[in-house]
Amino acid sequence: MRKEELRTPCYIVQKEKLEENLRILKRLREETGCKILLAQKAFSMYFLYPFIGKYLDGTTASGLYEAKLGAEEMGKENHIFSPAYKEGEFDEILSLCGHIVLNSPSQIRKYKERIRQAGKSPGIRVNPQCSTQKEHAIYDPCAPGSRLGTVREQLSGELMEGIEGIHFHTLCEQNSDALEVTLKAVEEKFGCWLPKMKWINFGGGHHITRTDYNIPRLIRCIRHMQETYGLEVYLEPGEAIALNAGTLLTEVLEIVENEKKIAILDTSAACHMPDVLEMPYRPPLKDSDLPGEETYTYRLAGPTCLAGDVIGDYSFCHPLAPGERLEFQDMAIYTMVKNNTFNGMKLPDIVLEEAGDCQIIRSFGYEEFKRRL
């Protein structure tokens, strides 16, 4: 069907854009021999897992359900990290995952031997205590008091005995200069164990598919770890895989005025793009500009009861009217995995666009709201 025929709100994932990203990642794998996993946390549209699996080595999970989804729908390498595994879930995790990353000394004591006996590869998540960004403190696993990863002082030779890999995840939407700085800290703190490891996982947060990303420097980082320590290098980006590969189509319901013009949409920041409020950030919107740049400026807001359900201020070269459709950009990642039905909001349908044709993959209604309550 054509885009004009779609019911709003809906997420439209653009297969060609996704493929552009995947091609960049595949080239990196081929050039360096590193392995790249889809971190499902950012993008779990499993309809596309078989397609993504043609370009990447597998999936990584933050818990049992993501591990199960990766195994069922992609069926390639399957890794997992969790700050604390549940005893009752661990046997199933062992059956689903080849690489299991442990977070703390007590988790190592509890699970290391079971992982080895199952013939799987145990790793440890380390905290290199090297913060490389200050803008988003809630996304900084190296912040003081962090529960994510073990710091150097808490490790010992006895704990590391039998551990096969080192995992760190400290970046968020960053370039390879931050990776380079972090790798230095990892080598400085954990260098004595690196030669004994089989693999190292650089985590996610690498914005590899962004136009200003410095790939040659990333390649140097990968080669350095491969050549110096003989390690298999893994990357597990989430955002980079579906960056700029989807939109959120919405309709203007009403215009109200109070000091400024406010357009009420059939989509909500709180429900359908929670990172807009959590990060916070102003999502790009097609055919619009910053407030005041064009003649007609509007505040765009959701229809929920939350006063702060505001997406942002945007300007247009024509006045908005009820029934007009707007398309927010870069809405594939951290949207459908995080959305909710707060206030009885309908979940956006999930649509795949390929060669100009739109196919509805999932459609949601009243039942989704009711069933969870």
Please identify, using beta-carbon distances, which residue of 204 and 283 lies nearer to ligand PLP: 204
Please identify, using beta-carbon distances, which residue of 126 and 311 lies nearer to ligand PLP: 126
**Rounded least distance, CB 239 to ligand PLP, Å:** 4
Which residues lie closer than 8 Å to 157 by C-beta, 6 or more apart?
A: none
Of 37, 33, 69, 31, residue with least CA distance to 52: 37
Q: Which of 58, 122, 123, 238 binds ligand PLP (CB under 6 A)?
A: 238
Is residue 41 near ligand PLP by the rule CB under 6 A?
yes
- Asked if 311 contacts 265 with a C-beta cutoff of 8 angstroms, the reply is yes
Please identify, using beta-carbon distances, which residue of 58 and 204 lies nearer to ligand PLP: 204
Q: Which residues are annotated as a binding site for substrate?
A: 239, 275
Binding-site size, ligand PLP (CB under 6 A): 14
Q: Which of 18, 28, 34, 39 binds ligand PLP (CB under 6 A)?
A: 39
Q: What is the DSSP letter of 342?
A: G
Q: Which of 74, 155, 172, 347 binds ligand PLP (CB under 6 A)?
A: 172
Count Cβ neighbours within 10 Å for each residue of 140-176 and write b for 16 or more, e otherwise: bbbeeeeebbbeeeebeeebbeebbbbbbbbbbbbbb
Q: Per the structure block, which two tokens stand in for 137?
A: 């403190």
Is residue 186 near ligand PLP by the rule CB under 6 A?
no
Is residue 48 near ligand PLP by the rule CB under 6 A?
no
Pairing mode of beta strands 121-125, 165-167 = parallel
DSSP bridge pairs for 327: 249
Q: Which of 79, 120, 169, 299 binds ligand PLP (CB under 6 A)?
A: 169
CA distance 103 to 163: 12
| 188-227 residues near ligand PLP, rule: CB under 6 A | 203-205
Please identify, using beta-carbon distances, which residue of 179 and 301 lies nearer to ligand PLP: 179
Q: Looking at this protein, which amino acid is placed at residue 295?
A: T
Please identify, using beta-carbon distances, which residue of 168 and 316 lies nearer to ligand PLP: 168
Q: Per the structure block, which two tokens stand in for 352?
A: 């795949």
Of 184, 334, 349, 183, residue with least CA distance to 266: 349
Q: Which of 38, 42, 231, 300 binds ligand PLP (CB under 6 A)?
A: 42
| 68-97 residues near ligand PLP, rule: CB under 6 A | 81
Residues that bind ligand PLP (CB under 6 A): 39, 41-42, 81, 169, 172, 203-205, 236-240
